[in-house]
Structures are given as structure tokens and as C-alpha cells.
Chain A
């Protein structure tokens, strides 16, 4: 009897083990094949309306520039559907398109234009969303960028930054004489607008958090001085006039203060300027170089460059207590910190051996990752959605702007302009 019991229980156990192994069979996929997602943008149906801009082409360019998307060439499209019900998924699947954007334009009661568009998931054969945006006839580029923002956000989960702007400085040499220009353009480089032209250097443009003003350094008075300028009215105001350095202006998150650098007391130190009262407060007290301040979102912490430790490194400053703390220890040169919106990733200029790269530095873990392979990189500025870092570099002898993603997976070079381009500053999200 015991023997029987024994055999029975053994049998039972065996049966149990084999069946449970079966029910827990889970395939594990631990690697991927990151490829740009292919999106087809069907030309927007205009229904007879005359519009100067090719909205579909602007959307294609935006998505391509982000590095995360590839677009299906228009010439390969078999049809140009303008709404979901006109779409045969089969056709688009054969083209290799994973997603499809369709849309149409019409006028509405107040004379504005309404662009109705849908994003379709060709692979899953469903509509992801249908949306409408409105604008005046001269705002077609804005509408196109809004489409890009929405498509980008839907697929990546990250807010699109296609409706932002960049400020930058160009330097042209005409017959031996230099002309410096401060420009503002759309993030895709379109609609470049001149803010200041000078025969003297212009440096360090910085965006006000409301996106309506810039602060920068201009040598027009014969010495470097800090100015602020309204982007709509173009009105300017000189903010500093000290001997020595007047540089590196940085707007506080509440827009009420500027952190800046003055060397009037003997060596470069960081000061804070209260814009409403024009009151200056000195924040650092050290005989070394202290420069390139940038604010953290709490409005009470500054990150800055200092060589008080012997070589340029990144330091942290508590504005209220004036306490400083060194943050970077890897490499012999770390400067020009630019904070990402996550508040914990820093883009900066980093050198370990002899070449200057843009690197990302994790404030929490201390991890430093080099993002670029170019040699003379400087002036990193992070997009307000944290997806890309734009910086200045050299292509041959010319200064150009380039962008790289914070995980270094994506990179592109901006369309070249005349002369040298340098000192990019990425705007915040604009209203």
C-alpha cells in the first residue's frame, strides 16, 4: 500500500512539474533594432485654397530632423488620402510606412484657416487620433509645426519641440572687416530675423523664460556690456556698464533676475541683478575664475564654471547661503553647464585628453557620457523637451551648429549659413 502511495505521489509530482513549466513559458525579448519610425505624410488637401507653404513638407522635415523618423517619399505614394476613411492600409503597408498623416484645410467663420488632421497606425490598422488646429493665413508654418508636435508626442510620448525658436550669432568677414549679427529663427532655421548687427562682437544670448526677450553681451560701446532686448518690439536696454568683464547673462526661472559675471572687483565673479530694482548682489568670493552661471528650476541654485580647483570644473552655488560645491571630477576641463528639463541631466563641454566634446552629466549618479565625436564643440543648449542638445562646432574651417540627442543616438548638422555660426540658445516652449 505504501508502495502504491509512493508511486502515486511521485507520478502526481511529475505531472505537476511538467504542466507548470508549460504554463509559465514566457518568451523574453531583451534586444531591439532601433530604426527610425517610417511616417508617410500625405499632402494636405487644400480644397482650392491658396497657401504659400507646403505643410506636408514642413512636417516631413521636422520629423526627419528629430532623427527618430524617416518619411516616405511623396513620389512613392499611390494616393493622397485626406481623411481616415479614404485610407487603404494595405497600400501604405506595402510602401513600408508604419504611420500615416492625412489632413485637409478649410476656412472658418472668422476668416482663419482650420487644418484638420489624423494620425493612422498602418501597422496596427487603426486611427490614433484626429485633431484640428487653427491660424491665420500667415501662420501656416506654425500650424505645420503644431502637426509635427502632435505626431511626435503621440508616437514617442515626449512633447514635441518643433514650435520653438533658436537664437544664435553669426560672424561674417567682408573684406577684412567683421560683421556680427544676433539672429532669431524657427527651430528649423526658417524665418531668420535680425535682432542686432554690429562691427563689434556679440556673445552669449540667453532666453527669458517667457520667450519674449533675450539678454546678451555686446561690445558695441568698446567694452563688453550686457543688454536686454524685446523680440517683438526690438527695443533694447543696457543693463551693465562696469569695467572688466560683463558677461554670461542667465535669466532666473521666474524671469525677475539675471545671473551674470563681472570682474570689476578684481577677478571674474558671479553676481545677481534684480531687474526691477537694478540692484547687484555679489554671489561668489574667490580669486579664481567664476563664470557661465545657469539656474536650476528651484530659482535658488546656480551651476557655474570655476577653475578654483586648478582646472575648469562645474560647481553648484546656493544663492541664499552662498555655499559652493564641486560637481565634476572626471576630465581636466568641464565648463558651460546647460541643464535639461529633467533637472538632473547636464549638457556641458568636456575634455579628457585633448579634444573638447559635448557630454551629458548625470547630477545624481555622476555618470559622464560623451555625446559628440567632433573636436571643437562648445556652447551646448538643451531643447525644452530634453530630446536634443544643440551646440556649435566646426566643419572644416567654418563654424556650424549641430544637434545630438542626450543618449547620443541621433545627430544632425543644421543647414549651413554664410560665415560662421556660433552660440546657439534654444528657446523655452513658446505660448
Chain B
């Protein structure tokens, strides 16, 4: 039975801590959120002709008598220069603009050309892909044809070695898996689907064991061997029986 005092002390402490944490969180959060919004003072500026202040005027040197014509000439010159400059700028701008346009056009053309090129390449690669697939199919067919001729061989040899028991009937079927090595030797035989008649199954296994080795498999391309002949499935169904 715990000491009630210590229990209450612990509880109080826990509460204080919790409140403290909570407060810290809250206060901080509050102070963070309190932004000082600076209101920009909108100043409306107006050109005001100020009375000339009685400011200590910087004694200007006595103005020489201004040659108005000269001034005008100078003004005109200035204006002309300005105009020239402006024109120059304009021309420059124009030239730049023209250049830019040219560049853009070039880029556009390039982009279009690239696009066409890309399209062409895509079509070309698609074609190449289809061609490759067709060739793969043809070679797969060729593979299959080669495989078929070896399958025939295996079938004949197994058939020659298959002696059926008296209980064998036409409607029976046993499927076995034969495992071969590249020399054509049978290294494993097992029944994957039984006929329901043990003597019949056994006769099938015996046929495989008797065949022992298919020498011709040595002639096979290793790729084809792996593809078709590492494991061979054979179904035995005695259609030649009378009963």
C-alpha cells in the first residue's frame, strides 16, 4: 500500500510540470504569433514650390551674360545628342530585338527539327523492336523445331523400353518427370501424376530407367538444353492396347 503523501506529492509535481510545459508552449506560441505590424505611412508627395529659403545662398559667381543663341544651340545640340542617343538606343533595341527574334526562330526551328528527329528515331526504334521480336519468334520456332526432333527421339526410345503389365488398360495414364544432364543421362525419374495402378506406374518408371541415356542430347546447343531438356515431362497412355 503506497504512502498517500508521496502519492499526492508525486501527483502534484506531475501536474506542475505538465502545466509548466503547457504554459511554456502556449506562451511562446502566443508571443510568436503576435507580430508587430508596421503600418507604412503613406506619403503623398507633391512638388511644392518652396519659397526659397533664406538660406545662406552660395554666392554664385556672377552669371556671365548668357548667350541665348549659344544656349539654344547648345540646347539643340543637347537635344540632338539626346535624340541621337535615343535613336541609337532605339536602333540598338531594334537590332537586339531582331537578333532575339532571329534566335528565337532558330531555336524554334531547331526544336521542330528535334521533334521530327525524335519522332523519326522513335519510329525507327519501334520498327527495330518489332523486327527483333519477329526474329526472336522465328528463332523460338526454330528452337522448338530442333527441340521437337529431340523429343521425338526420346519418345521413341521410351516407347521401345516400355513393357506394360497385365493390368494395363487403354484409359490409364501416368505422367513422369525425367531429369537429364547435358550428356543425355537420366539422373532422376519421378511420377508426377499416378494412373492409380501401381504396377502401371512402375512399368513407366522402368521404361525410363531402362532407356538410361539419350546420347544424342550431347549434340544439343547448351541454351536449348537448358530451355527444353533439363527437365522433361512425359505422359504414358497405352492407346495400342486391346483392352
A touching B, CB within 8 angstroms: yes
**Residues in A lying within 8 Å of B, measured CB to CB:** 4, 7, 11, 14-15, 18, 21-22, 25-37, 68, 98, 121, 123-124, 155-158, 369, 387, 405, 407-409
Choice from B137, B144, B165, B237 contacting A29 with Cβ under 8 Å: B237
Question: Could you tell me the distance between the alpha carbons of A68 and B202 in the complex, rounded to whole angstroms?
Answer: 15
Q: Are B199 and A155 neighbours in the complex by a CB distance under 8 Å?
A: yes
Question: Could you tell me the distance between the alpha carbons of A49 and B151 in the complex, rounded to whole angstroms?
Answer: 55
Q: In the assembled complex, how far is the CB of residue A391 from the closest CB belonging to chain B, in whole angstroms?
A: 18
* A4, closest chain B residue (CB): B126
Collect the chain B residues with CB atoms within 8 Å of residue A37's CB. Answer: 163
Q: In the assembled complex, how far is the CB of residue A369 from the closest CB belonging to chain B, in whole angstroms?
A: 7
Q: Are A28 and B163 neighbours in the complex by a CB distance under 8 Å?
A: no
Collect the chain B residues with CB atoms within 8 Å of residue A18's CB. Answer: 137, 140
Q: In the assembled complex, how far is the CB of residue B236 from the closest CB belonging to chain A, in whole angstroms?
A: 5
Q: Are B165 and A31 neighbours in the complex by a CB distance under 8 Å?
A: no
Q: Are B202 and A155 neighbours in the complex by a CB distance under 8 Å?
A: yes
Q: In the assembled complex, how far is the CB of residue B161 from the closest CB belonging to chain A, in whole angstroms?
A: 7
**Residues in B lying within 8 Å of A, measured CB to CB:** 126, 129-130, 133, 137, 140, 144, 147, 151, 154-155, 158-167, 175, 189, 197-200, 202, 205-207, 209-210, 227-228, 232-240, 242-243
A-B contact pairs, 30 of them (CB 8 A): A4-B126, A14-B137, A22-B140, A25-B147, A27-B151, A27-B232, A27-B233, A29-B155, A29-B234, A29-B237, A30-B240, A31-B159, A31-B239, A32-B162, A32-B163, A32-B207, A33-B163, A36-B163, A68-B166, A121-B206, A123-B206, A156-B167, A156-B199, A157-B165, A157-B167, A157-B199, A158-B167, A158-B199, A387-B166, A408-B242
**Known contacts A29-B236, A32-B164, A156-B166; is-contact A11 B129 (Cβ 8 Å):** yes
Choice from A15, A22, A35, A124 contacting B228 with Cβ under 8 Å: A22
Q: Secondary structure at chain B's binding surface: helix, strand, loop or mixed?
A: helix
Q: In the assembled complex, how far is the CB of residue B8 from the closest CB belonging to chain A, in whole angstroms?
A: 75
Q: Are B235 and A26 neighbours in the complex by a CB distance under 8 Å?
A: yes
Can you list the 4 inter-chain pairs with the closest CB atoms, starting with the nearest?
A157-B199, A32-B162, A123-B209, A30-B239
Q: Are B240 and A31 neighbours in the complex by a CB distance under 8 Å?
A: yes
Choice from B163, B199, B202 contacting A34 with Cβ under 8 Å: B163
Choice from A7, A25, A30, A407 contacting B242 with Cβ under 8 Å: A407
Question: Could you tell me the distance between the alpha carbons of A4 and B242 in the complex, rounded to whole angstroms?
Answer: 57
Choice from B165, B206, B227 contacting A124 with Cβ under 8 Å: B206
Q: In the assembled complex, how far is the CB of residue B203 from the closest CB belonging to chain A, in whole angstroms?
A: 8
Question: Could you tell me the distance between the alpha carbons of A28 and B154 in the complex, rounded to whole angstroms?
Answer: 10
Q: In the assembled complex, how far is the CB of residue A153 from the closest CB belonging to chain B, in whole angstroms?
A: 9
**Known contacts A27-B233, A29-B236, A369-B242; is-contact A34 B155 (Cβ 8 Å):** no
* A28, closest chain B residue (CB): B235
Q: Which of A28, A29, A33 has the most CB of B within 10 A?
A: A29
Question: Could you tell me the distance between the alpha carbons of A10 and B117 in the complex, rounded to whole angstroms?
Answer: 26
Q: Which of B151, B159, B242 has the most CB of A within 10 A?
A: B159
* B242, closest chain A residue (CB): A407
Q: In the assembled complex, how far is the CB of residue B228 from the closest CB belonging to chain A, in whole angstroms?
A: 7
Question: Could you tell me the distance between the alpha carbons of A155 and B202 in the complex, rounded to whole angstroms?
Answer: 8
Q: In the assembled complex, how far is the CB of residue A361 from the closest CB belonging to chain B, in whole angstroms?
A: 13
Collect the chain A residues with CB atoms within 8 Å of residue B198's CB. Answer: 157
Q: Are A407 and B166 neighbours in the complex by a CB distance under 8 Å?
A: yes
Q: Are B210 and A27 neighbours in the complex by a CB distance under 8 Å?
A: no
Question: Could you tell me the distance between the alpha carbons of A4 and B205 in the complex, rounded to whole angstroms?
Answer: 51
Collect the chain A residues with CB atoms within 8 Å of residue B207's CB. Answer: 29, 32
Question: Could you tell me the distance between the alpha carbons of A158 and B240 in the complex, rounded to whole angstroms?
Answer: 21
Q: Are B210 and A98 neighbours in the complex by a CB distance under 8 Å?
A: yes
**Known contacts A25-B228, A123-B210; is-contact A33 B166 (Cβ 8 Å):** no
**Known contacts A11-B133, A27-B234, A407-B242; is-contact A33 B162 (Cβ 8 Å):** yes
Q: In the assembled complex, how far is the CB of residue B234 from the closest CB belonging to chain A, in whole angstroms?
A: 5
Collect the chain A residues with CB atoms within 8 Å of residue B151's CB. Answer: 25, 27
* A19, closest chain B residue (CB): B140
Q: In the assembled complex, how far is the CB of residue B85 from the closest CB belonging to chain A, in whole angstroms?
A: 56
Collect the chain A residues with CB atoms within 8 Å of residue B130's CB. Answer: 7, 11
Question: Could you tell me the distance between the alpha carbons of A11 and B136 in the complex, rounded to whole angstroms?
Answer: 11
Choice from B155, B161, B236 contacting A33 with Cβ under 8 Å: B161
Question: Could you tell me the distance between the alpha carbons of A330 and B197 in the complex, rounded to whole angstroms?
Answer: 33
